[in-house]
Structure 1
């Protein structure tokens, strides 16, 4: 949820900090007080299009900052982690500064980000709906995804299975395209690969050879030091009156008394063992001295060999093993190019089989979507009936995404090539008829303002639980309705607020009466400048404000009584819920 919003030097707002609560919060006030300006500020905060015109006159920049409280399992955290943004403590702070030159500086949890990333994060946190806004639910290209969300328990596993088949199909299709490319380019590619393979094979590399040579080089380079130390160590032990003679003498003396007690026996054994270990070490030293030799020619060979490997590593891999792996890879590619025709036919056959498998999985996804589309239509028509649009009909119009005529690597459906995509072969569009006898048409083509409001609320009532947004803003979506329809809209907005935080700008007293929190927005003049302020209303202040919304300028006792009745009725709706 949006917990706090800070606005500074934005339009007519000098400085304003507003705290928001869970549930339904309504914002009311006189026309021009700044209600829509606050929504503009929130829209810009989550990535909306900015302009220098939003900067308060005479100031250098406008500053917007919002604190969002987000559950730990929300998908926004995965996105932030992917982008290297620290997002702990289940909080997100979005900030945007707009300079009077029109440039924006965006931050998420203190890290500078692009406007596109701010927008991507913002869409996961907050959904803004205005009467004529081209929003998520009203955009045709989003309907397939929304339907998949609605029927996720069945559709998601089937879609995953299709996508696995689709990925294999796409990889094979890419291989086929690469092998079918311009013949002259293939000849040039073959020449290059053959040169590379010959260069690697000529080196006759062995796995781990470079490490062994480096070790040998190190030994030859330290020949004098090794020889001197070995010789001195050997002489210290083996020369007349050397260490080994004295240890042998010690062992003989102890052996003579070893049977007297256990401690002497153990001590005798220890010294005796040490003698034999030292004697064995001297044999090893002698052997190493006999084998040790300084070979300048061998050192030159090693240096030359290691330099050759270094040149190959610069081209083909960081280790000898990687170079050999690369050689095996290009050897396979050379074979494919040299035997291009047979490989092409094999790949074509493989692609045909994969495309048919993917199409079968896609058709299964399509059937599940159509099944869930019927359930969705039934639920939305129930919602529309609650909003006094009982003559409306809702449906999902499906069409198949066909490939251009003449496509050769696409599967056929009813004799026509089908364009496989990441989400299958379907195109889906939510359609509605608002009156008996009228043709079905896209949601975006609904003409009446009052109908737009009700259709949007009906759809939103279904999808608010399916979407991950933590906050929803309704900006005067109740325009063009009154009477019983206004009451139905108020109850529907409250229902949406039970699953998400809802902020609603309204002119309807019925909606205001349903609020959990009522904020009153007003403006005043100070030193020749207009200032906007926001005030949470007490119960008595709510009565007066709802009375103003009912009657206009003059609020009478009768109007206040009517306002109290509205609040009482709203409380009954909430408690019976």
Structure 2
């Protein structure tokens, strides 16, 4: 609720402080006293366009400040917006709005002392206040608000939330599907490259260490004749035979070792202490035998076929080509093949994931279609009840013959939700958003025989204000806007209808804070807080002041509203009767 409103140097107001109450606050006073100026100042605070003429002449700036109590309902209403702008605080019990307008036209806005732009003030205002009589502040004139009001009236907010959550999941699914499909062509190209890489490497059948083996084999093949000659010479030296150099003594190393062994045996017989040396000599002989066997085996393995050398050269060229493409060594090339194999597996699983996402999308569409269809059916049923209730309230306000309707539209779309089932509308695919498949708008025909027109296009004035009061009275529990302001609601309303209007306003103020400007005592009598607005002259200049009325002062104000400046005892008695009648009606309603 609006706790306080402080106005300085705005139009004819020099300084005015209003401390408001919960429930119904009524502002009364003569025409031109400044009642509507107070509403204009509140509009400026809530983001209205500023005009330099609003600054009181002779002053540098106009200031308007409002203190709004943040009960749980209001805090919940504002928290998302305040969090978006970094203004939310769990500790703040009140929200302080401030607007300053300089004489040069410069405007400054603040929320809890922090500078903000006028657009944020306007957004806060739209959530907090409906000013009936100023359509820019009227939620009922915002068509997008009609669907929310209907859902609250129908009591289907929970189902609507389920639909909204489902649509959010669907959008997330479709975003992922779109991203994966967009990447699909690139992934197919990548998979083809990976398959080629894997095929090229695996078909080569590389082995770790193979390149070094090939180099050594090529070296042997290139030096084959010289190797053969050298091996033969070494064998002849050790074992004897052709190829032994002529300058060496007769006999092979093997023969000489045999002779040395016989001599060593003779020495051992003479001196057994030489046995270890004999064993050494025998070990040398055994090693020589092993060496000779290895040389003969090596010679047998030597392949001097030139075709083998060509094969080795070709194999080395293949290895080097693969190393140039996939890694500096055979081990790195084989590791590249393994990575390609793993990536191909991952790409294959990605395709499986895409198919799974499409399956989930289909299932979610069916589920959403069912819930959206049920939500739409509940809205359609509630729309009829709402129209009937509003027309009844309009009749109470002396507007019998006014027709009110709720238009629900569904737009077919090939990309829409599939809605099938026992619903009061044809099956099909319907366009949707987070609110479901319906487009809702309130329509009205103020006079019999006139066609229904959008509520947002009705004429301004007292008739439209009463019409909106009727709608508000029916939607009072559904409407989350906490502060309702009715400017000149009694235009064209007589005394008898004034009681009904007053009662409707008072009933509405049980769930909202209501501020009302009126000239009818029958309406003012229902006030929880009654303020008299009047002009006074101070220092030779006119200004507006507000006085809260209690007891006798209130009776006097009601009597003046009945009889003008010359109040009689009869007027005062009538004023007391009006107050008593209002109190009795309030007691009956509360009882």
Q: Which category of TM-score, normalised to the shorter sequence, fits these structures?
A: 0.5 to 0.7
C-alpha offsets along residues 245-278 of structure 1, whole Å, 9 cap, x if unaligned? xxxxxxxxxxxxxxxxxxxxxxxxxxxxxxxxxx
- Partner residue, 2:124: 121
Secondary structure in structure 2 of the residue aligned to 1:398: strand
- CA distance in structure 1 between the aligned counterparts of 2:533 and 2:179, rounded to whole angstroms: 63
Secondary structure in structure 1 of the residue aligned to 2:368: helix
Normalized against structure 2, the TM-score is what?
0.65
1:126-137 correspondence runs (5 A): 126-130=129-133, 135-137=138-140
C-alpha offsets along residues 278-309 of structure 1, whole Å, 9 cap, x if unaligned? xxxxxxxxxxxxxxxxxxxxxxxxxxxxxxxx
Contact 2:55 2:102 (8 Å CA) reproduced? yes
2:471 maps to 1:459: yes
- Partner residue, 2:434: 422
How far 1:132 sits from its partner (Å)?
Answer: 5.8
- CA distance in structure 2 between the aligned counterparts of 1:111 and 1:78, rounded to whole angstroms: 16
- Partner residue, 2:549: 537
Closer/same/farther in 2, CA of residues 120 and 134 from structure 1, 3 Å limit: closer
How far 1:575 sits from its partner (Å)?
Answer: 2.3
- Partner residue, 2:168: 167
Closer/same/farther in 2, CA of residues 187 and 60 from structure 1, 3 Å limit: farther
- Partner residue, 2:406: 396
- Partner residue, 2:326: none
1:4-23 correspondence runs (5 A): 4-23=4-23
1:295-334 correspondence runs (5 A): none
Closer/same/farther in 2, CA of residues 331 and 92 from structure 1, 3 Å limit: farther
C-alpha offsets along residues 144-182 of structure 1, whole Å, 9 cap, x if unaligned? 011112223xx2232233223322322233344445669
- Quick one: which of 514, 517, 521 aligns to 1:509? 521
- CA distance in structure 2 between the aligned counterparts of 1:501 and 1:33, rounded to whole angstroms: 23
- Partner residue, 2:495: 483
C-alpha offsets along residues 322-363 of structure 1, whole Å, 9 cap, x if unaligned? xxxxx99x9699938997xx9988766654554343222211
Normalized against structure 1, the TM-score is what?
0.67
- CA distance in structure 2 between the aligned counterparts of 1:450 and 1:332, rounded to whole angstroms: 74
Contact 1:72 1:90 (8 Å CA) reproduced? no
- CA distance in structure 2 between the aligned counterparts of 1:349 and 1:124, rounded to whole angstroms: 40
How far 1:428 sits from its partner (Å)?
Answer: 0.9
2:531 maps to 1:519: yes
- Partner residue, 1:102: 105
- CA distance in structure 1 between the aligned counterparts of 2:466 and 2:575, rounded to whole angstroms: 24
Secondary structure in structure 2 of the residue aligned to 1:522: strand
More divergent stretch after superposition (44-53 vs 502-511): 44-53
How far 1:143 sits from its partner (Å)?
Answer: 0.7
More divergent stretch after superposition (343-352 vs 56-65): 343-352
Contact 2:415 2:431 (8 Å CA) reproduced? no
2:71 maps to 1:71: yes
- CA distance in structure 1 between the aligned counterparts of 2:470 and 2:43, rounded to whole angstroms: 23
- Partner residue, 1:382: 392
Name structure 2 gaps, 5 residues minimum. Answer: 198-338, 421-425
* C-alpha RMSD of the superposition: 3.6
Secondary structure in structure 1 of the residue aligned to 2:404: strand
- CA distance in structure 2 between the aligned counterparts of 1:150 and 1:533, rounded to whole angstroms: 40
Closer/same/farther in 2, CA of residues 189 and 104 from structure 1, 3 Å limit: farther
Secondary structure in structure 1 of the residue aligned to 2:124: helix
1:254-333 correspondence runs (5 A): none
Secondary structure in structure 1 of the residue aligned to 2:58: coil
- Partner residue, 2:143: 140
How far 1:187 sits from its partner (Å)?
Answer: 5.1
Contact 1:85 1:109 (8 Å CA) reproduced? no
How far 1:390 sits from its partner (Å)?
Answer: 3.9
- Quick one: which of 148, 153, 176 aligns to 1:150? 153
- CA distance in structure 2 between the aligned counterparts of 1:45 and 1:445, rounded to whole angstroms: 26
- CA distance in structure 2 between the aligned counterparts of 1:504 and 1:446, rounded to whole angstroms: 21
Closer/same/farther in 2, CA of residues 87 and 4 from structure 1, 3 Å limit: farther
How far 1:27 sits from its partner (Å)?
Answer: 0.9
Closer/same/farther in 2, CA of residues 512 and 156 from structure 1, 3 Å limit: closer
- CA distance in structure 2 between the aligned counterparts of 1:64 and 1:336, rounded to whole angstroms: 66
Closer/same/farther in 2, CA of residues 32 and 331 from structure 1, 3 Å limit: farther
- Partner residue, 1:371: 381
Secondary structure in structure 1 of the residue aligned to 2:536: strand
How far 1:576 sits from its partner (Å)?
Answer: 2.1
Larger Rg belongs to: 2
Q: How many residues align?
A: 436
Closer/same/farther in 2, CA of residues 178 and 81 from structure 1, 3 Å limit: closer
Name structure 1 gaps, 5 residues minimum. Answer: 199-326
Secondary structure in structure 2 of the residue aligned to 1:425: coil
Contact 1:85 1:108 (8 Å CA) reproduced? no
Closer/same/farther in 2, CA of residues 394 and 333 from structure 1, 3 Å limit: farther
Secondary structure in structure 2 of the residue aligned to 1:92: strand
Contact 1:179 1:337 (8 Å CA) reproduced? no
Contact 2:131 2:137 (8 Å CA) reproduced? no
2:501 maps to 1:472: no
- Partner residue, 1:309: none
C-alpha offsets along residues 360-388 of structure 1, whole Å, 9 cap, x if unaligned? 22111101112222332343233223223
Closer/same/farther in 2, CA of residues 122 and 445 from structure 1, 3 Å limit: closer
How far 1:39 sits from its partner (Å)?
Answer: 0.8
- CA distance in structure 2 between the aligned counterparts of 1:23 and 1:160, rounded to whole angstroms: 31
Closer/same/farther in 2, CA of residues 415 and 374 from structure 1, 3 Å limit: closer
- CA distance in structure 1 between the aligned counterparts of 2:345 and 2:148, rounded to whole angstroms: 40
Secondary structure in structure 2 of the residue aligned to 1:547: helix
Secondary structure in structure 1 of the residue aligned to 2:433: coil
